[in-house]
Amino acid sequence: MTKTILVFLLYACSLSAQAALDAAQVRQLAAEDSSDKVAAIRQLTQTADPDAVRVLQAMADDSLYLAGGKAVIIDGDKAFDAATGAAIRVPADAESVTVNNRIRGELANALAALKLFDADAGVRLASAQKLQSSVSPEMAPLLAQALEKEGDAQIRALLTVAHAQANLGNDDPAARMAAVKALSETSSPTIKSLLLPLTDKAGEPDDKVRYEAIAAVKAIDGRLALAENLGRVFSGLSLGSILLLAALGLAITYGVMGIINMAHGELLMVGAYAAYGMQSLFRAYLPDWIDWYLPAAIPVAFFAAALVGVVMERTVIRWLYGRTLETLLATWGISLVLIQSARVLFGAQNVEVSNPTWMSGGIELLPNLVLPWNRIIIVGFALFVLTLVWVLMNRTRLGMFVRAVTQNRPMAGCVGVPTARIDTLAFALGAGIAGLGGVALSQISNVGPDMGQGYIVDSFMVVVVGGVGQLAGAVWAALGLGILSKLLEGWAGAVIAKISILVCIIIFIQKRPQGIFALKGRFVE
Amino acid sequence: MRRPLTLRIIDSLDGKAWLALGVFLALALVAVPVLHLAVPEDSAFHVSTYVITLIGKIMCYALVAVAMDLIWGYGGILSLGHGLFFALGGYAFGMYLMRQIGRDGSYQSDLPDFMVFLDWKELPWFWSGSDSFLWVAILVVVVPAIVAFIFGYFAFRSRIKGVYFSIITQALTYAAMLLFFRNETGFGGNNGFTDFKRVLGYTVTSPETRLVLFGLTALLLAATLVFAAWLVKSKFGRVLAAIRDAESRVMFIGYNPLWYKLFIWVVSAVLCGIAGALYVPQVGIINPSEMSPANSIEIAIWVAVGGRGTLIGPVIGAFVVNLAKSWFTVSFPEYWLFFLGLLFIVVTLMLPQGLVGLWKKLTTRKEGAAA
């Protein structure tokens, strides 16, 4: 239906314009040989005649026929002469013009080029964008023409690149020179590959143009490398945020009680499964609000993990004070029980947790640098949790008590701080933060019973490097380790990066056994 | 004047302990071979290959547990990376076993199959000499010793202790596991070494070879127990216990704890390496999962269950936990982790001295009631 209207409109336009195309050229569209057809399409495009759109569109729609030595357009029960656009009788001996894939591609380009002259800026922008990746040298004059007429700055920029690409094969060295100069401003790998032949003596006879091309390739390479490094720094930042989320809770429990909670990774798992549970609930009862399951999962995950933490503290850890190595073993036992419980409850396989739609996609900073939304949101979420913890620790009475117990437990007890209660609350807080970390993890990695195991070593490394009981230390250590490991990964591969980080940490501890930010004061072991 | 070493060694165990050791060796070196080879298979007294492999494996574990007890029970240092030394010894001996396959592998090449698979043309440098039993036997001892010395020297020098040390040893074994998982490292990637054919020219799976390996393990376990008993009763052992209980005071008296800790740490690592070397031909496989942090932490629970700070405790613990493991993983595979997890919790909460401590408490209470 739209096709009919389109053809009809085009036909009406051509009637009013009274413009006729060269009949011989139009006839060649129906030639036997594909190369002849391509030549005809390119010639027709060069005329920049709006009437050509009508014929090429018909050809693309498979309604171009050959009848009695003339190209005709047949649309349902109507027929038109292709060259003039005049209505004629439907011929009996019409033969369809074959359009293969090569021709189809050529037609799409030609139509895009012709649409550069459309009155609507939106249509022009779309076609200019389409022409960024596929330009034939024959389009150069047409593009020059379009460029001359174009007023919109954004479209002009796109057209300049397209025009320069078309001109790379120009016979005139000056034109090639201008093209290379224009292209050196871009930063896409495709254009770099277009410029590469020109850096070679065989591909470019003119010395000046060749040197310019070499410089242009270098400039593009520099920008590509910059984007790559920026990308690495960003993924390091996002890894750092995840490490921070995983380590913040550990930093609190380790700082306050001096124990290593080996089940901390499993508290992350509890948070991730809470997100999975909320997703299932929303799917079942609130399918229209499914995108909002994630914000709803945040408090649920916090309290679920905090509850597990309180139970752990009250039933096991409480009885092992002063015996840190035994606590380590007991919490390892708890982690085994939690892992197996998750297997029994949810199955041994990973469960599927999908990103809400507002988290998919990303921001394209450069052609080869896309920052995914889910990573950006996790960085933001880590900041949010960090602020929350900071406020809690530094601006509330509970936080003051926690800091007091961290610094000097007997003295805090002497001045009336209920240390046993603070232990429980601090442990619950640490566990709850791990739960929040689990929600973040559920968005970027697999959710399964074993997911926590991989984080315990990493998050303890953050605590060790950062220094005990120090928020700032944890932040710097998490970001530093995240960015360092991503940079090393790009340079040496993931496993080597991990090993060298661990070696670095062992060496680092030689120099600063108390971490980056050591607690100052008198300590007896 | 000091008494001769032999006398001191004899004195380090009391009469009952020597008797128990003698009975153990008689069982392992005489009774088991006779029951395996001479008694017909359908007899109730026949000892099957499965039992021999299982007990042989558990004796290797017991050796590791004793090594662990030396540094944890007597030195107060909890290592969560002992699986690394065990695996290093295993891999070192595994190299020899791989070379013994000769051209009987599936590619009929002089190189181990996995190297053919990776399209390597010659052995990497660290494989040179691996066809010599003697050289490999040296490697089994020296490689864990060097790794332990370097790591221990830096860790103890900066006085890393307690949970810090535990976690860093865990990171160490974790890093090593990642390294050995790579195919390029040259140790068979995640498949490790397997499909062994011969050891010293004898078929690895023949009953006689199995019995010899079994007997060797038993002998070595007994020897280690005697050595450990002597070591912990010597002056060295007493300084070590003092360091465990009050390191600062020992330092102020004029001892440097570094060398005491480092020595027991290296001894412990070497014992683990030897245990690994005996383990591999009996079990028939070594792969990087032996280095996983979970495996190493399991060693600690064997010691804790038996009772640390005693020498018989780790052996009992290794047997109890591993027999339970083989029984659970066959009968109730899904409950094994629950059991193991609860074991960790219950032992640390209620049995700080392990089964040996429980036994002592029960017997002394009885004596107290009688008196």
Taking the C-alpha atoms of residue A67 and residue A94, their distance in angstroms, rounded to an integer, is: 5
Q: Which residues contact B150 (CB under 8 A, 6 or more apart)?
A: none
CB-based contact B168 A333, cutoff 8 Å: no
Do the beta carbons of residue A201 and residue A171 sit within 8 Å? Answer: no
Q: Looking at beta carbons, which residues of chain B come within 8 Å of A312?
A: none
Taking the C-alpha atoms of residue B96 and residue B242, their distance in angstroms, rounded to an integer, is: 41
Q: Looking at beta carbons, which residues of chain A come within 8 Å of B345?
A: 316, 330, 333-334, 337
Cα–chain center distance at B42: 34
Instruction: State percent of chain A over pLDDT 90.
Output: 14
Chain A residue nearest residue B169, CA to CA: A506
Tell the residue number behind the tokens 């040496």, with chain if given.
A492
Break chain B into its structural domains and give their ranges. Answer: 20-370
Using DSSP bridges, classify how beta strands A70-75 and A64-67 pair: parallel, antiparallel or unpaired: antiparallel
Burial (CB < 10 A; 0-12, 13-18, 19+), residue A289, is exposed
3-class secondary structure, B109: coil
Q: Looking at beta carbons, which residues of chain A come within 8 Å of B155?
A: 506
Do the beta carbons of residue A392 and residue A398 sit within 8 Å? Answer: yes
Instruction: State the smallest CA–CA distance between residue A217 and chain B in angstroms.
Output: 35
Q: Looking at beta carbons, which residues of chain A come within 8 Å of B295?
A: none
Q: Which of residues 460-519 of A touch B (CB under 8 A)?
A: 460-461, 464, 495, 498-499, 502-503, 505-507, 509-510, 513
Classify the phi-psi angles of B13: left when phi > 0, otherwise alpha if psi is within -120 to 50, otherwise beta.
beta
For position A16, what pLDDT does the model report? 43
pLDDT tens figures, B337-347: 898 999 989 88
pLDDT band for position A469 (cuts 50, 70, 90): low
pLDDT tens figures, B157-173: 877 777 788 888 888 88
For position B236, what pLDDT does the model report? 92
Q: Tell me the helix, strand and coil percentages in chain B, rounded to 5.
A: 75, 0, 20
Q: Give me A394's structure tokens.
A: 């530094």
pLDDT tens figures, A311-355: 999 998 888 877 888 888 899 999 999 999 999 999 888 888 888
Residue of A325, A460, A502 lying closest to B175 (CB–CB): A502
- Give, as one character, the DSSP assignment of residue B255: -
AA identity, residue A20: A
CB-based contact A461 B160, cutoff 8 Å: no
pLDDT tens figures, A222-245: 888 888 888 888 888 888 888 888
Taking the C-alpha atoms of residue A354 and residue A290, their distance in angstroms, rounded to an integer, is: 10
Instruction: State the smallest CA–CA distance between residue B171 and chain A in angstroms.
Output: 6
Instruction: State the smallest CA–CA distance between residue A251 and chain B in angstroms.
Output: 13
AA identity, residue B36: H
Q: Looking at beta carbons, which residues of chain A come within 8 Å of B303?
A: none
Q: SS3 string of A68-103?
A: CCEEEEEECCEEEECCCCCEECCCCCCEECCCCHHH
Burial (CB < 10 A; 0-12, 13-18, 19+), residue A90, is middle
| Mean pLDDT of the residues in chain B | 87
Chain A residue nearest residue B249, CA to CA: A525
For position A9, what pLDDT does the model report? 47
Residue of B158, B163, B172 lying closest to A510 (CB–CB): B158
Among A274, A268, A276, A233, residue whose Cα is nearest residue A385: A268
pLDDT band for position A524 (cuts 50, 70, 90): very low
Q: Which of residues 410-439 of A touch B (CB under 8 A)?
A: none
Chain B residue nearest residue A495, CA to CA: B178
- Residue A12 clears pLDDT 50, i.e. is over it: no
CB-based contact A510 B163, cutoff 8 Å: no
For position A300, what pLDDT does the model report? 94
Taking the C-alpha atoms of residue A502 and residue B171, their distance in angstroms, rounded to an integer, is: 7
CB-based contact B348 A330, cutoff 8 Å: yes
- Residue A15 clears pLDDT 50, i.e. is over it: no
- Whole-prediction pTM value? 0.77
CB-based contact B166 A328, cutoff 8 Å: yes
Do the beta carbons of residue A372 and residue A386 sit within 8 Å? Answer: no
Residue of B172, B178, B342 lying closest to A498 (CB–CB): B178
CB-based contact A464 B338, cutoff 8 Å: no
Q: Which of residues 181-240 of A touch B (CB under 8 A)?
A: none
For position A333, what pLDDT does the model report? 92
CB-based contact B247 A259, cutoff 8 Å: no
- Disruptive mutation site among B84, B153, B167 for chain A (greatest number of A CBs within 10 Å): B167
Average pLDDT (B98-118) is 81
Q: Looking at beta carbons, which residues of chain B come within 8 Å of A502?
A: 171-172, 174-175
CB-based contact A509 B160, cutoff 8 Å: yes
Between A410 and A41, the higher pLDDT residue: A410
For position A520, what pLDDT does the model report? 55
Residue of A325, A337, A339 lying closest to B78 (CB–CB): A325
Write down how long chain A is.
525
Average pLDDT (B39-58) is 85
For position B130, what pLDDT does the model report? 82
Chain B residue nearest residue A455, CA to CA: B171
Provide DSSP, A277-344: HHHHHHHHH-GGGGGGHHHHHHHHHHHHHHHHHHHHHHHTGGGGTT-HHHHHHHHHHHHHHHHHHHHH
Least confident of B6-15, B228-237, B323-332: B6-15
- Give, as one character, the DSSP assignment of residue A350: P
Q: How many CB atoms lie within 10 A of CB B366?
A: 10
Taking the C-alpha atoms of residue B49 and residue B51, their distance in angstroms, rounded to an integer, is: 5
For position A169, what pLDDT does the model report? 72
Q: Give me A104's structure tokens.
A: 């189809």
Between A522 and B339, the higher pLDDT residue: B339
pLDDT band for position B363 (cuts 50, 70, 90): confident
CB-based contact B178 A343, cutoff 8 Å: no
Angle at B312 between CA B308 and CA B315, to 5 degrees: 90
pLDDT tens figures, B178-213: 889 888 888 888 888 888 888 887 888 888 888 899
For position A516, what pLDDT does the model report? 65
3-class secondary structure, B88: helix
Do the beta carbons of residue B189 and residue B181 sit within 8 Å? Answer: yes
- Residue A521 clears pLDDT 70, i.e. is over it: no
What is the dihedral angle through the alpha carbons of A120, A125, A128, A129, rounded to the nearest 10 degrees? -150
Of A254-258, A431-435, B42-46, give the range with the top mean pLDDT.
A431-435
Taking the C-alpha atoms of residue A136 and residue A161, their distance in angstroms, rounded to an integer, is: 13
For position B371, what pLDDT does the model report? 47
B263 DSSP β-pair partners: none
Residues in chain B whose beta carbon is closer than 8 A to a beta carbon of chain A? 72, 78, 151, 154-155, 157-160, 162-164, 166-168, 170-172, 174-175, 178-179, 181-182, 247-248, 293-294, 297, 300-301, 304, 334, 337-338, 340-345, 347-349, 352
Chain B residue nearest residue A339, CA to CA: B337
CB-based contact B345 A333, cutoff 8 Å: yes
Q: Looking at beta carbons, which residues of chain B come within 8 Å of A506?
A: 151, 154-155, 168, 171-172
Instruction: State the smallest CA–CA distance between residue A380 and chain B in angstroms.
Output: 29
Least confident of A44-48, A153-157, B35-39, B197-201: A44-48
Taking the C-alpha atoms of residue A2 and residue B270, their distance in angstroms, rounded to an integer, is: 83
Do the beta carbons of residue A430 and residue A309 sit within 8 Å? Answer: yes
Classify the phi-psi angles of A448: left when phi > 0, otherwise alpha if psi is within -120 to 50, otherwise beta.
beta
Average pLDDT (A105-115) is 78
Q: Which residues contact B234 (CB under 8 A, 6 or more apart)?
A: B8
CB-based contact A499 B179, cutoff 8 Å: yes
Instruction: State the smallest CA–CA distance between residue A340 and chain B in angstroms.
Output: 6
pLDDT tens figures, A179-193: 777 777 777 777 777
| Mean pLDDT of the residues in chain A | 80
Q: Give me A111's structure tokens.
A: 């139509």
pLDDT tens figures, A164-216: 777 777 777 777 777 777 777 777 777 777 777 777 777 777 777 788 888 88
For position B356, what pLDDT does the model report? 87
Chain B residue nearest residue A317, CA to CA: B349
The verdict on A324 touching B (C-beta cutoff 8 Å) is: yes
CB-based contact B341 A343, cutoff 8 Å: no
Among A49, A60, A69, residue whose Cα is nearest residue A106: A60
Exposure pattern of A192-209 as b/e (b: 16+ CB <10 Å)?
bebbeebbeeeebeeeeb
Residue of A327, A337, A499 lying closest to B178 (CB–CB): A499
CB-based contact A510 B166, cutoff 8 Å: no
Give ipTM to 2 decimals.
Answer: 0.86
Burial (CB < 10 A; 0-12, 13-18, 19+), residue B196, is buried
Residue of A328, A339, A510 lying closest to B163 (CB–CB): A328
What are all long-range contacts of A352-356, with beta carbons under 8 Å and residues at least 24 apart? A352/A447, A353/A272, A353/A275, A353/A276, A353/A279, A353/A442, A353/A443, A353/A447, A354/A279, A355/A443, A356/A290, A356/A291, A356/A292, A356/A293, A356/A294
The verdict on A457 touching B (C-beta cutoff 8 Å) is: yes
Q: Looking at beta carbons, which residues of chain A come within 8 Å of B179?
A: 495, 499
Instruction: State the smallest CA–CA distance between residue A501 and chain B in angstroms.
Output: 9
The verdict on A326 touching B (C-beta cutoff 8 Å) is: yes
Tell the residue number behind the tokens 């062992």, with chain if given.
A506
Least confident of A113-117, A494-498, B196-200: A113-117
Average pLDDT (A60-73) is 78
Chain B residue nearest residue A322, CA to CA: B162
CB-based contact B175 A525, cutoff 8 Å: no
CB-based contact A329 B304, cutoff 8 Å: yes
